[in-house]
Amino acid sequence: MQLLRRITDSDFIGGAPEFMETTTRYASRGLLVDDRLNVAMMYMSKINLYKLPGGGIDEGEEIRDAFLREIKEESGYEAEIIHELGYIEEHKNKNNFMQHSYCFVAKAQNRISNAMLHFQ
């Protein structure tokens, strides 16, 4: 999978970028679209932030399977991955945390439960 971008604290607070050596966490995330190409977003009211579906990859879990599982947990939809975007390295030195986020585009299929995400 292709590296899309390296993000560091300097992208948000300025200064010289600092890169970490050790990956702390692996995650799968991305766009979930419906038939009209509306994008599903999750609203985090405690911090007034919208985010895309996704989350951590469980030990032994494939990255694509993790994204589909996270979609189901967070949106209540089953989905099909239609495009692989690449991955992002998130170097967060202030938090001593480095994450690889594998990114995809998926199309919503069957709604199986009510959940937090809504198409906008």
Chain segment 74-105, per-residue pLDDT in tens: 988 999 999 999 999 999 988 899 999 999 99
For the chain, list the domains and their CATH numbers.
Answer: 3-95 (3.90.79.10)
* Residue 28 burial class via C-beta count within 10 angstroms: exposed 0-12, middle 13-18, buried 19 and up: buried
pLDDT at 9 over 80: yes
d(CA 105, CA 110): 16
If you count DSSP H runs as helices and E runs as strands, how many of each does the chain have, helices first?
A: 2, 8
pLDDT at 115 over 80: no
pLDDT at 118 over 60: no
SS3 assignment, position 93: helix
Chain segment 37-64, per-residue pLDDT in tens: 999 998 889 999 899 999 999 999 999 9
pTM of the predicted protein model: 0.85
